[in-house]
A and B are shown apart, each in its own frame.
Chain A
């Protein structure tokens, strides 16, 4: 049809500079409805355009097409190719459309039961949509979800290494942290998993949501594995809704935590067996088993504080392992993981615990310290900048101005200029 051809022509013509692009964007938006109903728009029309140059137009057309008649496999192929070759600048003008397209892509890939195909395109999609490395986009959680399904943890982890500081949608954030935590657990990076899950658990929320509850369950277990600590109360910065309601949903986990704190293996195992159906429902049984084995390690670690040498049989007795052989296995594992420093003397069946050989004198250590210092300075600067921008934000000042009417302190100077009192 004429309109279609006209559209194609304008796309091809106006895809050069940014001024043209905004005009093009306007045209495309107006033409959106017609695109949907127009049955003429086919794959053939699409081939007239080059995705890397005419990204914006291609995006609109592709979106209309995939909603309609195109088959799933073909649409997956098309979208993947488009994502790989599109131009990031043009895409960001219509980011919501792009996001919708990618979400559709993800759904199709999942329906086809082939998540692996979607991983690479979505990773690059995330990079292209992201305005800056600090921003969270709606695509982050989808990408992580695909990585989890495909068990492609390394790819997922590359996305997680960004420091997210700005968030638009809370729900995206919760999902991002939750999936991110699961990926880190898969990679056995329990420190980062604990951080991510901590962010969900302490996020401000007025009503408890299911994502946060599930995240809290995993958070408890990850904390046990990583640092061996469990406290029955949430950190103070968690929202009051969370502090009131999480407990009721997580009772089996609290029991596990309490038994772990007591340090007795038999009782912990009994509790695990008793609640194993709950854990299986939440898909946390593997994690719970890891927590139980970490208790052995924790107990052996405590022994290193008290003893210089200890026989393997004694270790087995004190930590309640079955026999000296198992004790040897555990100690060996811990030495290899770098959790303790020790020497095993097989002739006597003795283990000799050594001090941490790190002397903090090498140049590598100096580099590590230097990078930590730089990072800290950077963070402080960020914090100050944030504080400054907030004190210039008209909404915030308006609120403070309003509240100031209620409390008349009679200060010598006003923290908020008069114009903001309403």
Chain B
């Protein structure tokens, strides 16, 4: 198809090893403007709606994209039972999509009525189960309530009900079920500390978990770390996700996301050896990276020091990454860290570096580069000094011997000062004490 060739074209030039593998799945997160339909098919359930709404609100002035997202959101919501979101979407569409996409009060009313009836029924069932004191049915009752509230969009109540099933769980499977539900609702609510604690709870299970469940838990844990800005831990979790995950966790995360989040976090926080061992040589993760060839390319470029192309890929991906609901807040930090790492890695092997060539490699001006390097030197991440006259960076290794002597002398002086003032203070205290004792006697 046309679009396939467009995107695979530039990549043909860059890959020297192995040909382009034609995969069935089109690269969805790429430099091209986001294909919303394809993006939306990756997810299901509530997260699909939330992601579409996020795109609609963050796509800037792009009207077509916004309307497309809102249209798809509308369609999706109508398949569910969440009237609140429905009203929301209708307001935002504001009649721009024509008659088919306006407020359907009849639908809202019927959904609400059905919800009331269902709620009444569930309550009756639950109270009868409670009187019967059958653990399993009470657990199912609470679970159903949780599912019901989740579908209606009342997340807090859903969470409470899921947590209440804990008292009635008898087997390990029940506990895992409860944890997965709790994790899902917590992610939707944005409370990632809960996510971490429930992941821990599930992993403490004495039985070994099924591989898919384990993979799901790792994804959830990775997301939690990402939101808490612990990029290294997030990367480790994402890189450990087994490829059997496939599409099974679509209500939370797509495998493309695993690849993107894992790749970017790893690039921003791992050192070179870890990057090679855990990302590039990681067979499992390779399957994920196939889904986002641009991320794969940029990691390889970074490792082989082709910084210009690496930063180019990053730049092109940026617009789409900003539309991602989880990565949105972290794009700038991650990019910043990746750029800094690139600068540091560039200067590491050399005794002297010509700043104009380095500026070309990083596509920036010499004075801008000087400022960036100055910041890095102040932070002690590069051991070097700048020759501003000739625009050269010279590596500088501190003389250990001299530094040690200096430190010793300084320490001697400080000891001297501190002990003397300590003895003075003790003396003053003693004097006060004697004066007081003298008065008392």
- In the complex, are the beta carbons of B377 and A348 less than 8 A apart? no
* Interface residue A120 (Cβ < 8 Å from any Cβ of B): no
A 373-418 contacts with B by CB, 8 A = 373, 375-376, 379-380, 382-383, 386, 390, 393, 395-396, 399
Per-position contact with A for B409-441: 1 when CB-CB < 8 Å, else 0?
A: 100110111011111111111111110010000
- In the complex, are the beta carbons of A390 and B402 less than 8 A apart? no
* Interface residue B324 (Cβ < 8 Å from any Cβ of A): no
* Interface residue B386 (Cβ < 8 Å from any Cβ of A): yes
A 202-217 contacts with B by CB, 8 A = 202-204
B 378-404 contacts with A by CB, 8 A = 378, 385-390, 394, 399, 401-402
- In the complex, are the beta carbons of B423 and A386 less than 8 A apart? yes
Neighbouring A residues of B429 by C-beta, 8 Å = 204
A 188-205 contacts with B by CB, 8 A = 195, 198-199, 202-204
Neighbouring A residues of B433 by C-beta, 8 Å = 395-396, 399
Neighbouring B residues of A237 by C-beta, 8 Å = 422, 425
* Interface residue B350 (Cβ < 8 Å from any Cβ of A): no
Instruction: A316 to B389: give the CA distance in the assembly, Å.
Output: 15
Instruction: A369 to B421: give the CA distance in the assembly, Å.
Output: 22
- In the complex, are the beta carbons of B428 and A308 less than 8 A apart? no
- In the complex, are the beta carbons of B421 and A199 less than 8 A apart? yes
Most chain B beta-carbon neighbours within 10 Å: one of A204, A311, A353, A355: A204
Most chain B beta-carbon neighbours within 10 Å: one of A360, A368, A386: A360
Assuming the contacts A165-B420, A198-B421, asked whether A307 and B415 have C-beta atoms less than 8 A apart, the reply is no
What is the distance, in angstroms, from B397's C-beta to the closest C-beta of chain A?
11
A 321-357 contacts with B by CB, 8 A = 348, 350, 353, 355-356
- In the complex, are the beta carbons of B427 and A165 less than 8 A apart? yes
Assuming the contacts A360-B401, A382-B423, asked whether A204 and B387 have C-beta atoms less than 8 A apart, the reply is no
Instruction: A170 to B421: give the CA distance in the assembly, Å.
Output: 14
Neighbouring A residues of B399 by C-beta, 8 Å = 355
Instruction: A395 to B432: give the CA distance in the assembly, Å.
Output: 12
* Interface residue B68 (Cβ < 8 Å from any Cβ of A): no
Pick the residue among A163, A203, A356 that contacts B420 (CB under 8 A): A163
Residue of A nearest to B374 (CB): A306
Secondary structure at chain B's binding surface: helix, strand, loop or mixed? helix
- In the complex, are the beta carbons of A309 and B416 less than 8 A apart? no
- In the complex, are the beta carbons of A308 and B394 less than 8 A apart? yes
Instruction: A359 to B402: give the CA distance in the assembly, Å.
Output: 6
Neighbouring A residues of B424 by C-beta, 8 Å = 164-165, 167, 173, 199, 203
What is the distance, in angstroms, from A365's C-beta to the closest C-beta of chain B?
8
Instruction: A383 to B419: give the CA distance in the assembly, Å.
Output: 8
What is the distance, in angstroms, from B367's C-beta to the closest C-beta of chain A?
10
* Interface residue A114 (Cβ < 8 Å from any Cβ of B): no
Instruction: A365 to B415: give the CA distance in the assembly, Å.
Output: 19
Residue of A nearest to B388 (CB): A310
- In the complex, are the beta carbons of B412 and A167 less than 8 A apart? no
- In the complex, are the beta carbons of A308 and B387 less than 8 A apart? yes
Instruction: A195 to B418: give the CA distance in the assembly, Å.
Output: 9
Residue of B nearest to A192 (CB): B417
Neighbouring A residues of B426 by C-beta, 8 Å = 386, 390
* Interface residue A314 (Cβ < 8 Å from any Cβ of B): yes
* Interface residue A17 (Cβ < 8 Å from any Cβ of B): no
A 17-70 contacts with B by CB, 8 A = none
Residue of B nearest to A164 (CB): B424
- In the complex, are the beta carbons of B425 and A379 less than 8 A apart? no
Instruction: A383 to B423: give the CA distance in the assembly, Å.
Output: 7
Residue of B nearest to A203 (CB): B428
What is the distance, in angstroms, from B379's C-beta to the closest C-beta of chain A?
11
Pick the residue among B377, B401, B417, B430 that contacts A305 (CB under 8 A): B377
Number of interface residues of B (CB under 8 A): 38
Instruction: A204 to B405: give the CA distance in the assembly, Å.
Output: 35
* Interface residue A168 (Cβ < 8 Å from any Cβ of B): yes
Instruction: A353 to B423: give the CA distance in the assembly, Å.
Output: 42
Instruction: A313 to B386: give the CA distance in the assembly, Å.
Output: 16
Assuming the contacts A369-B409, A395-B434, asked whether A311 and B388 have C-beta atoms less than 8 A apart, the reply is yes
Instruction: A382 to B420: give the CA distance in the assembly, Å.
Output: 10
Pick the residue among A204, A305, A382, A393 that contacts B425 (CB under 8 A): A204
Neighbouring A residues of B419 by C-beta, 8 Å = 379-380, 382-383
Instruction: A204 to B408: give the CA distance in the assembly, Å.
Output: 30
- In the complex, are the beta carbons of A306 and B430 less than 8 A apart? no
Neighbouring A residues of B408 by C-beta, 8 Å = 369
Most chain A beta-carbon neighbours within 10 Å: one of B412, B421, B424, B434: B424
- In the complex, are the beta carbons of B428 and A173 less than 8 A apart? yes
A 145-200 contacts with B by CB, 8 A = 163-170, 173, 195, 198-199
* Interface residue A372 (Cβ < 8 Å from any Cβ of B): yes
* Interface residue A281 (Cβ < 8 Å from any Cβ of B): no
Instruction: A311 to B385: give the CA distance in the assembly, Å.
Output: 14
Assuming the contacts A307-B386, A311-B389, asked whether A372 and B425 have C-beta atoms less than 8 A apart, the reply is no
- In the complex, are the beta carbons of B386 and A375 less than 8 A apart? no
Most chain A beta-carbon neighbours within 10 Å: one of B377, B387, B409, B427: B427
* Interface residue A262 (Cβ < 8 Å from any Cβ of B): no
Instruction: A308 to B431: give the CA distance in the assembly, Å.
Output: 55
Neighbouring A residues of B405 by C-beta, 8 Å = 360, 365
- In the complex, are the beta carbons of B389 and A348 less than 8 A apart? yes
Instruction: A170 to B385: give the CA distance in the assembly, Å.
Output: 51
Instruction: A165 to B377: give the CA distance in the assembly, Å.
Output: 45
Residue of A nearest to B376 (CB): A306
Instruction: A350 to B408: give the CA distance in the assembly, Å.
Output: 34
Instruction: A314 to B371: give the CA distance in the assembly, Å.
Output: 12
Instruction: A268 to B417: give the CA distance in the assembly, Å.
Output: 31
* Interface residue A358 (Cβ < 8 Å from any Cβ of B): yes
Assuming the contacts A203-B425, A237-B425, A309-B387, asked whether A376 and B432 have C-beta atoms less than 8 A apart, the reply is no
Most chain B beta-carbon neighbours within 10 Å: one of A314, A359, A395: A395
Residue of A nearest to B380 (CB): A305
What is the distance, in angstroms, from B394's C-beta to the closest C-beta of chain A?
6
What is the distance, in angstroms, from A243's C-beta to the closest C-beta of chain B?
15
Neighbouring B residues of A382 by C-beta, 8 Å = 419, 423
- In the complex, are the beta carbons of B421 and A195 less than 8 A apart? yes
What is the distance, in angstroms, from A86's C-beta to the closest C-beta of chain B?
28
What is the distance, in angstroms, from B347's C-beta to the closest C-beta of chain A?
14
- In the complex, are the beta carbons of B437 and A395 less than 8 A apart? yes
Neighbouring B residues of A390 by C-beta, 8 Å = 426, 430
Neighbouring B residues of A365 by C-beta, 8 Å = 405
Known: A307-B387, A379-B420. 15 other contacts (CB 8 A): A169-B431, A170-B428, A199-B421, A204-B425, A305-B377, A306-B377, A310-B388, A373-B412, A376-B412, A383-B422, A390-B426, A390-B430, A393-B430, A395-B433, A395-B437
Q: Which 7 A-B pairs have the closest CB atoms?
A: A360-B405, A308-B387, A372-B412, A309-B389, A308-B385, A310-B388, A306-B377
A–B pairs, 18, beta carbons within 8 Å: A165-B423, A167-B431, A173-B424, A198-B417, A198-B421, A202-B425, A203-B425, A203-B428, A204-B429, A305-B378, A305-B385, A314-B388, A348-B389, A358-B402, A360-B401, A368-B409, A376-B415, A383-B419
